[in-house]
Amino acid sequence: MEKAEGRNENLIMEFILLGFGNAPELQTLLFLLFLVIYIVIMVGNILIIILVVADQHLHTPMYFFLGNLACLEICYTSTILPRLLASLLTGDGTISVKCWLVQTYFFAIIATTENLLVAAMSYDQYLAICNPLCYAAPMNGRVCFQLVAGSWVYSFLVNGTLNYFLFPLTFCGSKEIDHFFCDFSPMIKLSCGDTQTLQLATFTVSTIGTLVPLLLTLTSYIYIITAILRIPSTTGRQKAFSTCSSYLTVVTILYMSMITVYVFPTSNTPKVLHKIFPLFYTVLTPVINPVIYSQRNKEVKKSLRKTILKRVAFRNRHRSVKEKF
């Protein structure tokens, strides 16, 4: 009791994120690296959204989900990287408890929504490959909208409920947290009160929000791979496996890193891995998703080529008109 009272005398009002170290040369290098990555993520995903909205040929369930995934990736990285870039540039890792809680809340919402959306995309691919004749009926515009909206509503409600119990917590002890963004696990260790119920609830939500979509996704891909093996053409099988393996790579990186951090964390895991694994789903997947989900699709390549040619033609026409006058 005396120890608890002693800890409560110094309540924490702000945290200090240690990030990736204090070496000036490393800070500058990491700032430039993450800045380039952030620009690539924003440009790549914004381009996908523009193409999906502008091109009528891409108004299909697959690209509807792809556009929503691109929007999610923009939100995902925008909750993490701007704050990290500011910290690397100024060397100030200080963040208030309220700001920490807000960033944690939005990060959890977007992460949960992405898991559900990836599962919906795998189901869409399963129907398109395994049941092409019955594809239009179960995967119409209304169903697609309901799947996306349901993912967002579920994420807001579940994570909002958890944050209802998280916001009243007080924190004491050391202000320093050896992480690069506002995550739940390192913060909850500094709470002054009993957090067993909250940790159990968070573990349950994380397990359901990660393992259930993972199982649905893996089940869909098992059926997809089975269907691919039945393709008589060797060239067709190789092409289908090439695309499928790329999607599975993204899914594996996303889910395995999340499971390691949130579902089955261990005390024996080195601290550096608790920073590396979050980089997979906060930085790596948003970078490679536009490449995997678009550059391997002929429709997106064709739409991009058409848009560029239209833009070039418009500039040439505008220039020729100006020269006449």
| pLDDT tens sequence for the chain (325 residues) | 444 444 445 677 888 888 787 777 788 898 999 999 999 999 888 988 888 888 887 788 888 988 898 899 899 889 889 988 988 888 888 888 888 888 888 888 998 998 899 899 888 888 888 887 777 777 888 889 999 999 999 999 998 888 888 888 888 877 888 888 877 777 787 888 778 888 888 888 888 888 888 889 889 888 888 888 887 777 767 766 766 776 777 788 788 777 777 766 655 556 666 677 788 888 888 888 777 766 556 666 676 677 666 666 656 665 665 555 5
Q: Are 98 and 140 in contact (CB under 8 A)?
A: no
CATH entry, 12-319, from 1.10.8.50, 1.20.1070.10, 3.10.129.10, 3.40.640.10 = 1.20.1070.10
Place of tokens 């690209």: 63
Give which of 14, 196, 9, 2 is closest to 95, Cα–Cα: 14
DSSP 177: E
For the record, the structure tokens of 272 come out as: 């550096």
Cβ neighbour number for residue 132 with a 10 Å cutoff: 10
Q: Which long-range contacts (CB under 8 A, 24 or more apart) does 136-142 make?
A: 139/61, 140/61, 141/61, 141/64
How wide is the angle at C-alpha 168 spanned by C-alphas 163 and 174, nearest 5°? 100
**Residue 19 backbone zone (phi > 0: left; psi -120 to 50: alpha; other: beta):** left
pTM, full prediction: 0.82
How wide is the angle at C-alpha 314 spanned by C-alphas 311 and 317, nearest 5°? 150
Q: Give CA–CA dist 117/62, Å, rounded.
A: 11
Amino acid found at 133: L
